[in-house]
Homo-oligomer: A and B are copies of this chain.
Amino acid sequence: MLSTEVTKRLKIKYPIIQAPMAGGITTSQLVAAVSNSGGLGMIGAGYLTPAQLREQIREVKELTLNHFGVNVFVPGEFTISQNGIDFANEKLQSIKNHLNIADDSFQLPDARKLMETFHEHMEIVIEEKVPVCSFTFGIPSKEVISRLKEHQMILIGTATTVREALENQENGMDMVVVQGSEAGGHRGNFSNSHQESLIGLMSLIPQAVDCVRIPVIAAGGIMDGRGVMAAICLGAKAVQMGTAFLTCQESGAHRLHKEAILQSDEDQVILTRAFSGKWARGINNQFISTMHENEASFPAFPVQNTLTQSIRKTAAAQNNPDYMSLWSGQSPRLAKSLTAEELIQDIMLQVKNIIFD
Residues of A within 8 A of B (CB): 1, 161-163, 180-182, 192, 195-204, 206-207, 210-211, 220-224, 226-227, 229-231, 233-235, 265-268, 270-271, 284, 329-331, 333-334, 354, 357
Contacts and interface: CB of A to CB of B under 8 A. Distances in A.
B162 A333 contact: yes
B229 A233 contact: yes
A227 to B, nearest CB: 6
15 contacts: A1-B354, A161-B265, A161-B266, A163-B267, A181-B198, A181-B200, A182-B202, A196-B268, A200-B201, A202-B231, A203-B220, A203-B330, A206-B223, A226-B235, A230-B231
A203 B183 CA distance: 9
A181 B180 CA distance: 11
Contact of A234 (B1, B226, B329): B226
Copy count, this protein chain: 2
Contacts of A199: 182, 266-267, 330
A206 B329 CA distance: 14
Nearest to A191: B267
Contacts of A235: 226
B203 A202 contact: no
Contacts of A204: 266, 330
Contacts of A221: 200, 202-203
Given A200-B181, A202-B222, A230-B231, A331 B207 contact: yes
User: 3 closest A-B pairs (Cβ-Cβ)?
Assistant: A200-B200, A203-B330, A203-B221
B195 A266 contact: no
A1 B222 contact: no
A108 B357 CA distance: 54
A216 to B, nearest CB: 12
A271 B181 CA distance: 14
